[in-house]
Amino acid sequence: MTDRDHKEIFKELNSIKTEDALQSQKIKQMQKDILNIDKKVDRIENKLSLFIEKADEKYAEKKDVERINSIINKITWLLITPVIWTVIALVLNFK
């Protein structure tokens, strides 16, 4: 191997390290974003639960409230599941 080959290999290794560092930063940012999404979903769930409790006390029958809760849970999982699978796919893809 020539000196030039060593320099090219060294440049390639540095490029790979830089790429890895950027991907690690992206993963950390995605984890923060997911945490923020989870917090927002929790806040929405809390607000909806409070709304349902108040509605239950004033207007609704218990089975209506349970049906609304079921719909809310389905919507929540519909929102969270793709985010979880995206993170899993990205983590497995970067390994």
Query: 């497995």: which residue's tokens?
Result: 92
Please state the pTM of the whole predicted model: 0.47
Return the H-helix or E-strand segment holding 74. Answer: helix 62-94
Average pLDDT (15-39) is 87
Amino acid at 30: M
Query: Domain-by-domain residue ranges, the chain?
Result: 3-94
User: For 47-66, what is each residue's pLDDT tens digit?
Assistant: 888 887 887 677 666 777 78
Helix axes 3-58, 62-94, angle to 10 degrees: 180
Average pLDDT (43-47) is 86
pLDDT of 56 reads 66
56, 62 contact by CB (below 8 A): yes
Average model confidence (pLDDT) for the chain? 82
Average pLDDT (36-43) is 85
**% of the chain at pLDDT higher than 70:** 91
